[in-house]
């Protein structure tokens, strides 16, 4: 009995040790449980950057329970400023960004994904964000599990009536008939046959509006669309290496629609970064430029004041534009409304759906463009090359015309 009693006296001392031993596996498992919480979502952030600007395509995947209504938050570590977004309502306060669903893409089943994007500017740095959260849950970011608390940016008030239907496809019907190709009587009508020297002269002059670098412009007698002369521009990568040929003709009274036709030939496919080959000073932007060029490999319009693009640089928007073929002459025409926001663009007489503004906002096309309601008022025509990041190109321009009525190819 004494031996038994002695064993009973000893056992109370063993209970705390046994309890710790039993709890130890659970305590060791706690970090894994924290990681599992982060695996409830993942975010892929793919950036396309050029000097002073960027777009980012973002994909959020819900690995947790199904949700109806989502909000993704993150913080920038650089001085990025978002100017527009697509497939989401995007707001920014300081470095904190919130992207809320657009209504039609609010439902995320388990394993379901939503794609959206942003466009913005930067000055000193554009690092990729390292932490994201979906509805308050930390997400794996670009394959890296979360290592800290998720961003908790308080959301700004979303619009009270978010869109409830997916974006509609704009009409793509081309013009019923092409306008005549002749430009006699137009404000500008030039095949450059009057050029006698190697440098543009007469009603044409060279221009490097911002800074001067290695870009050049010459009269070329070996390549032409018609006749025996064209203007050749050798443009190089980097903002200062731009070069334009500018008309001395004042266009400030041309309207109410400004019609432009030109033939252009170039050697290098439009790059991913932003470039421009037409730049029109715009009095509605206090002289800043209304530009047509390219981004993400396709033609785009760009407004210098707010860096708005047409179409939006989402995959769906870019798909509604078109590349500018290389190695052959292409007829580019556009019509700019000066009393309304209307804008139309044709390549070889084919209406380009993604390069059209009709006053009715269309997702992935002109929503951000219509955020500015003042119609453009071009005052001059410049053509050439300007690269805001990477991209050299050699281009030829011929048979350039500007008038108050449509001018065909």
The model's pTM is 0.68
Q: Give 87's pLDDT tier (boundaries 50, 70, 90).
A: confident
Q: Are 41 and 64 in contact (CB under 8 A)?
A: yes
Instruction: Summarize pLDDT for 128-166 with one digit per residue, the tens.
Output: 998 999 998 999 999 888 876 778 655 444 443 334 334
Does position 124 have pLDDT exceeding 60, yes or no? Answer: yes
User: What pLDDT was estimated at residue 39?
Assistant: 62
User: What pLDDT was estimated at residue 341?
Assistant: 87
Question: Considering only the top CATH level, what class is 188-403?
Answer: mainly beta
Instruction: Summarize pLDDT for 309-338 with one digit per residue, the tens.
Output: 999 999 999 999 999 999 999 999 999 999
Give the CA radius of gyration of the chain.
Answer: 29
Q: Give 172's pLDDT tier (boundaries 50, 70, 90).
A: very low
Q: Which stretch of 73-82, 148-157, 338-347 has the lowest confidence by average pLDDT?
A: 148-157
Domain ranges in the chain are 41-141, 188-403
Give the C-alpha separation, 325 to 270, whole Å. 9
Instruction: Summarize pLDDT for 32-47 with one digit per residue, the tens.
Output: 333 333 368 999 998 8
User: What pLDDT was estimated at residue 330?
Assistant: 97
User: What pLDDT was estimated at residue 177?
Assistant: 56
Does position 304 have pLDDT exceeding 80, yes or no? Answer: yes
Q: Are 271 and 297 in contact (CB under 8 A)?
A: yes
Instruction: Summarize pLDDT for 226-279 with one digit per residue, the tens.
Output: 999 999 999 998 888 899 999 999 999 999 999 999 999 999 999 999 999 999
* Overall fold of domain 41-141: Immunoglobulin-like (2.60.40)
Of the candidates 335, 315, 306, 302, which has an alpha carbon nearest to the alpha carbon of residue 408? Answer: 335
What are the φ/ψ torsions at residue 188 (nearest 5 degrees)?
A: -125, 130
Instruction: Summarize pLDDT for 7-18 with one digit per residue, the tens.
Output: 333 333 333 333
- Topology match between the domains 41-141 and 188-403: no
User: What pLDDT was estimated at residue 34?
Assistant: 32
Of the candidates 401, 358, 384, 400, which has an alpha carbon nearest to the alpha carbon of residue 254? Answer: 401
DSSP string, 21-77: HHHHHHHHHHHHHHHHHHTTEEEEEEEEEETTEEEEEEEEEE-SS-EES-EEEEE-S
Arithmetic mean of pLDDT, 182-195: 94
Give the C-alpha separation, 220 to 329, whole Å. 15
Give the C-alpha separation, 87 to 102, whole Å. 6
Tokens of 356: 């059209």
Any idea what DSSP says for residue 316?
Answer: H
- Backbone dihedral region of 103: left (phi > 0), alpha (psi from -120 to 50 degrees) or beta? left
Give the C-alpha separation, 90 to 372, whole Å. 17
Q: Which residues have CB under 8 Å from 331's CB, separation 6+?
A: 261, 262, 263, 346, 347, 348, 349, 409
> Does residue 60 or residue 87 have the better pLDDT?
60
User: What pLDDT was estimated at residue 119?
Assistant: 82
Instruction: Looking at mean pLDDT, say which of 23-37, 144-158, 365-379 comes out highest.
Output: 365-379
User: What pLDDT was estimated at residue 159?
Assistant: 40
Arithmetic mean of pLDDT, 41-55: 85
Instruction: Summarize pLDDT for 197-233 with one digit per residue, the tens.
Output: 999 999 999 998 878 889 999 999 999 999 999 999 9
């Amino acid at each position: 009995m004494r031996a038994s009693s002695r064993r009973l006296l000893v056992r109370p001392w063993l209970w705390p040790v046994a309890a710790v031993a039993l709890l130890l596996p659970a305590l060791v498992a706690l970090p894994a449980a924290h990681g599992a919480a982060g695996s409830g979502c993942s975010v892929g952030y793919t950036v396309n950057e050029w000097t002073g600007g960027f777009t980012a395509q973002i994909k959020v995947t819900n690995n947790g329970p199904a949700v109806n209504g989502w909000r993704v938050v993150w913080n920038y570590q650089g001085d990025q400023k978002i100017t527009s977004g697509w497939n989401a309502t995007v707001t920014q306060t300081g470095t904190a960004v919130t992207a809320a669903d657009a209504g039609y893409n609010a439902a995320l089943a388990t394993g379901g994904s939503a794609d959206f994007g942003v466009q913005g500017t930067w000055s000193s740095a554009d690092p990729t964000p390292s932490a994201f959260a979906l509805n308050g849950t930390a997400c794996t970011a670009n394959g890296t599990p979360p290592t800290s608390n998720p961003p908790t940016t308080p959301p700004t008030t979303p619009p009270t009536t978010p869109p409830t239907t997916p974006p509609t496809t704009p009409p793509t019907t081309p013009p019923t008939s092409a306008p005549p190709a002749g430009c006699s009587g137009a404000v500008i009508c030039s095949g450059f046959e009057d050029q006698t020297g190697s440098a543009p002269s007469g009603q044409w002059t060279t221009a490097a509006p911002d800074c001067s670098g290695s870009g050049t412009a010459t009269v070329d007698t070996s390549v032409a669309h018609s006749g025996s002369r064209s203007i050749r521009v050798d443009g190089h990568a980097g903002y200062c290496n731009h070069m334009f040929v500018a008309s001395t003709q004042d266009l400030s009274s041309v309207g109410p629609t400004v019609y432009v036709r030109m033939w252009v030939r170039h050697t290098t496919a439009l790059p991913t970064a932003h470039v421009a080959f037409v730049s029109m000073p715009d009095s509605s932007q206090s002289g800043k430029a209304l530009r047509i060029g390219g981004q993400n490999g396709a033609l785009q319009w760009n407004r210098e004041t707010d860096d708005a693009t047409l179409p939006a640089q989402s995959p769906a928007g870019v798909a509604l534009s078109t590349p500018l073929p290389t190695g052959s002459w292409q007829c580019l025409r556009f019509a700019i409304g000066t009393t309304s926001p209307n804008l139309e663009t044709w390549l070889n007489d084919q209406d380009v759906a993604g390069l059209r503004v009709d006053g009715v906002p269309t997702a992935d096309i002109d929503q951000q463009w219509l955020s500015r309601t003042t119609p453009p008022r071009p005052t001059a025509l410049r053509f050439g090359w300007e690269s805001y990041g990477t991209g050299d190109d050699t281009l030829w321009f011929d048979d350039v015309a500007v008038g108050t009525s449509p001018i065909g190819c």
